[in-house]
A and B are shown apart, each in its own frame.
Chain A
Amino acid sequence: MTHSKLYSAIFAAGITFVLACLMIGIKLDTDGTQLAIKGATTAQWFWILGGIAVVFFSQLFSRQIDGMFSHLPKPQLGKLIPAQAKSDAMKPWLIAGAIVILLVWPFMVSRGSVDLATLTLIYIMLGLGLNIVVGLAGLLDLGFVAFYAVGAYTYALLSLYFGFSFWICLPLSAALAALFGFILGFPVLRLRGDYLAIVTLGFGEIIRILLNNWTDVTGGPSGISGIAKPTLFGLEFTRKVKTEGATTFHSFFDISYSSSYKVIFLYMIAVLLVLFLIYLINRLIRMPIGRAWEALREDEIACRSLGLNRTAIKLSAFTIGASTAGFAGCFFAARQGFISPESFIFIESAIILAIVVLGGMGSQVGVILAAIIMTILPELAREFSEYRMLLFGLLMVVMMRWRPEGLLPMKRPQLELNKQ
C-alpha cells in the first residue's frame, strides 16, 4: 500500500526528470550559422529539481490531495453572491444597485482603470456568448474567435468603405457572425462533438489566414486603422469634428474637451451591451429553446425520440453564440479603432474557453467573475505575463480534474408547477 505509493511517486519523479531535463535542461542556441546547445543555468536546474520534488510529493500524498479537493465545501463561492433564491424581493434592488455602481464608478477612477474595465466587459460578452454554446448546449467550439473576427471586420470594413455608423453595424455584425455560424454549423453539428471541436479550430485558423492574405480588402497583416468611434446620437467624442456637419460632444454641452469622456462613453456602451446580453440569455434559458439545449446536453437520444430536431436545436445555440461574438467584435473594433488578424489568434479562443471553464459551464455569474479574474490578474501580475498561457493551460487541466463544474456551478432556473 504505502510501498506502491512510494514506488509510483519515484516513478512519477523519474518521468518528470525525463520530461524536464531535455526540454528545460538543454536549450537550443544559434552559434553563428550553426545550431548549438547550451546547458541551463543553475537557477533553471533548481526549478527542475523543485518541479521533480513537487511531483514526487504530490504523488506520494495524492490520496490526501484528492481528498482535500473533494472535501472543500463546494458552494463556498456561491455564498459571496447575495442570496439568489433566498430573497427574490431583494433581487430587483440588488440589480438596480449594481447597475448604479457600474454607471457611477468610472467617474471616480483613472482613465486606465475604465479602459481596463471596458476590456473586461468585452471578455464578459465573449464569455457569455461561448457559455451558451459550451455551457448550455454542451458543444465545444474552439474557433469562437473567428466569429469575433467576423464581427470586428464587418464593422471595420462597412465603416471604412461605406461609412456605416457603429449603431447600424452592431446588429449587422451580429447577423453576419450568426450567418457564418450557421453555414459552419450546418454540416458539422450532425456529427459527434469532437468533430465540432476540431472543425471550429480549423475554421478559426482559416478566417485568420483569409484576413491575412486578402490584402486588397482587409489590409492583410497590417490590418485596418482609423475605424470610426461610436457617436452619441450623432455627437462625436473627438476634439474636432470629423464628419461634415456633425457636432462634438463637448461643444454641444459646452464643456471643455477631455479624452476621458470618450473612454467613459465606450465603457457605458459596453455596460449596456453586457446588460442586454445578460437579459437575453436569462430569457433564453427560460424559454423552450433553452430547455431543449439542456435536455439535449443531458440525453440526446431521448430528445430525438420525443421529436426534437437535434441539428436545429444545436444550430440555434451555435448561431446565437456566434452572433454574440460578432456583437462583441463590432464593439471591439470600435473601441480599438484598429484591428488586425493578430487580435484573432487561437490563444484568444483558448482564453475565452478558459473563462467559461473557470467560471462554471452554464453559470452566468461564474463566467462574469472568471472574465474579471482572467483580465485583471494578468494586469496586476505583469512580470508573470509570459507564464500566462502556461497557467491557463494548467488551469484547464486542473479544473477538469478537481472541479469540472467551475468556480460557481450553474444554478438552473427551475421551472415550478404552481399547484392550484
Chain B
Amino acid sequence: MSEFSLYLLQQLINGLTIGSTYALIAIGYTMVYGIIGMINFAHGEIYMIGSYVTFIVIAGLLGMGMVSLPIILIIALVIAIFIASTYGWTVERVAYRPLRGSNRLIPLISAIGMSIFLQNFVVLAQGARDVALPPQITGGWSFGDASSFEVSISYMQMMIFAATFITMTVLTLFISRSRMGRACRACSEDLGMTNLLGIDTNKIIALTFIIGAALAAVAGLLLGLYYGVINPFVGFIAGLKAFTAAVLGGIGSIPGAVLGGLLLGVTEAMTAAFFPAEYKDVVAFGLLVLILLVRPSGLLGKPEVEKV
C-alpha cells in the first residue's frame, strides 16, 4: 500500500477510536430523548465528571502503592460509574422531574442552568487548569513499512474498542431482555400510555438518566486515559459532539447513536488529515446542520408524526 493510503488507514483507526466513545455518550442523549423528548443538556458534564472520578481514583490507588493495572482500572470504572450515575440521577431529579408537564422551554433552561452549575462546581472543587495523568496503558501493535509509514494500533485503542463493544452488548441485552428494558421501550413508544398501564414512568425516566450517565462515565474513563489530560470544560465540546452523533444517527435510536458516533469520529479524523486540527469541530458542526437540512430524522431515525 502507498504511504498515503496507510496514513488514511491510520486516521480511520483513530477516528473509529474517538467515534466509539462519542457513541457511548450519544446513547445517553438518544435514550433520554427517546423517552421524554428532551435533550439532557447536562449530559456532557456527567461525562466530564466521569473523567475526573477516574483520575482521582487512579491517582489515589497509585498513591496507595497498588500496582496491578487491571484491578486499578476496574475499581476506577466501578466508582466512576457509580458517582456519575448518582449525578445523572440528581440532574433528572432536580432539573427535570419537578418541571414535568410545563412548557418545553422551561426544563430546557433549567438543564442548561444545571450544566453551567456542574461545570463551575468542578472548577471550584478541582481547579480550572488541566490535569494530566501519565499514560497508564502503553505500547501497541503496528504494521506497514517502518521506513515510510507505520500504521499503529495502541493497546489503549484496542481497549477502547473492546470496552465499547462490551458496553454496547450489555446495553442491548438489557434493553431487549430485561423487564426494565421492556418498560424502557414501552415508555419510548408512548409515555402516557405506559403510565396508565401501571408502570412507574418516573422510575423508568430516572433509570434512563442513570444508564446514560453510566455510559458517559465509561466514555469519560476511556477518553480520559486516551488523551491523558482533562479540565472542567471537556464536557461542553464532547457533549456537543455526542449530540451531533445522536442526531446524525437519528435521535431516539440506539443503533443510530452508535452509527452516528462512528461516522462523526471518522469524519473528524479525515478532516484532521487534510486541514488544521482546529477545524474538525467546524466540520462536525457543519455535518449537524447538513443533516438537519437534508434528513432531520437522521440516518436510522423514524420521521416524527405530529399529533394534531
Give chain A's interface residues, CB within 8 Å of chain B.
15, 18-19, 22-24, 26-28, 30, 33-37, 134, 138, 140, 142, 184, 187-188, 190-195, 197-199, 201-203, 205-206, 209-210, 212-213, 301, 346, 350, 353-354, 357, 361, 386-387, 389-390, 392-397, 399-401, 404
- Residues of B85-108 at the interface with A, using a CB-CB cut-off of 8 Å, are 86-87, 89-90, 94-95, 98-99, 102-108
Of A22, A138, A203, A209, most buried by chain B (CB within 10 Å of CB) is A22
In-complex Cβ contact of A202 among B49, B110, B131, B288 (8 A): B288
Contact (Cβ within 8 A) A396 B59 = no
In angstroms, Cα B99 to Cα A394, docked, is 15
In angstroms, Cα B131 to Cα A34, docked, is 10
User: How many whole Å from A15's CB to the nearest CB in chain B?
Assistant: 6
Chain A residue nearest to B82 in the complex (CB): A18
Contact (Cβ within 8 A) B116 A393 = yes
Contact (Cβ within 8 A) B133 A35 = yes
- Residues of B56-88 at the interface with A, using a CB-CB cut-off of 8 Å, are 56, 58-60, 62-63, 79, 82-83, 86-87
Chain B residue nearest to A349 in the complex (CB): B112
Contact (Cβ within 8 A) A213 B278 = yes
Contact (Cβ within 8 A) B59 A37 = yes
In-complex Cβ contact of A400 among B82, B110, B281, B308 (8 A): B110
Contact (Cβ within 8 A) B131 A28 = yes
Give 1 or 0 for each of B205-221: 1 = CB within 8 Å of chain A CB. Answer: 00000000000000000
Q: Which of B14-22, B143-151, B194-202, B240-248 contacts A (4 or more CB under 8 A)?
A: B240-248
A sample of 11 more A-B contacts (CB under 8 A), given A138-B105, A301-B306, A350-B112, is A15-B89, A23-B125, A27-B125, A27-B127, A140-B108, A206-B281, A393-B115, A394-B117, A396-B110, A396-B113, A404-B106
In-complex Cβ contact of B124 among A134, A192, A350, A387 (8 A): A387
Q: What are 17 inter-chain pairs, A to B, with CB distance below 8 A? A: A15-B86, A22-B56, A23-B49, A27-B125, A28-B55, A140-B109, A187-B293, A188-B289, A194-B108, A202-B288, A209-B279, A353-B112, A354-B113, A389-B120, A394-B113, A396-B116, A397-B113
Contact (Cβ within 8 A) A193 B105 = yes
- Say whether B137 faces chain A, with CB atoms less than 8 Å apart: no
**A209 and B278 contact, Cβ closer than 8 Å, known pairs A23-B122, A195-B292, A397-B95:** yes
User: How many whole Å from A188's CB to the nearest CB in chain B?
Assistant: 6
Contact (Cβ within 8 A) B289 A199 = yes
Nearest 4 A/B pairs, CB to CB: A396-B113, A393-B117, A393-B116, A400-B110
In angstroms, Cα B297 to Cα A191, docked, is 10
In angstroms, Cα B60 to Cα A404, docked, is 43
User: How many whole Å from A16's CB to the nearest CB in chain B?
Assistant: 9
Chain A residue nearest to B59 in the complex (CB): A35
Chain A residue nearest to B121 in the complex (CB): A390
The main secondary structure of chain B at its interface with chain A is: helix
**A193 and B104 contact, Cβ closer than 8 Å, known pairs A24-B125, A205-B281, A396-B110:** yes
**A140 and B105 contact, Cβ closer than 8 Å, known pairs A35-B59, A346-B236:** yes
List the A side residues contacting B293 at CB < 8 Å: 187
- Residues of B250-280 at the interface with A, using a CB-CB cut-off of 8 Å, are 276, 278-279
Contact (Cβ within 8 A) A197 B63 = no
List the A side residues contacting B131 at CB < 8 Å: 28, 30, 35
In-complex Cβ contact of B110 among A15, A184, A194, A401 (8 A): A401
Contact (Cβ within 8 A) A19 B86 = yes
Chain B residue nearest to A34 in the complex (CB): B134
Chain A residue nearest to B110 in the complex (CB): A400
**A35 and B240 contact, Cβ closer than 8 Å, known pairs A22-B56, A134-B105, A210-B282:** no
User: How many whole Å from A207's CB to the nearest CB in chain B?
Assistant: 10
- Say whether B296 faces chain A, with CB atoms less than 8 Å apart: yes
In angstroms, Cα B57 to Cα A35, docked, is 11
Contact (Cβ within 8 A) A28 B59 = yes
Contact (Cβ within 8 A) A393 B113 = yes
Chain A residue nearest to B29 in the complex (CB): A198
User: How many whole Å from A399's CB to the nearest CB in chain B?
Assistant: 8
In-complex Cβ contact of B99 among A190, A395, A400 (8 A): A400
Contact (Cβ within 8 A) A396 B109 = yes
User: How many whole Å from B81's CB to the nearest CB in chain A?
Assistant: 13
In angstroms, Cα B306 to Cα A401, docked, is 28
- Say whether B47 faces chain A, with CB atoms less than 8 Å apart: no
List the A side residues contacting B87 at CB < 8 Å: 19
Of A35, A138, A400, A404, most buried by chain B (CB within 10 Å of CB) is A400
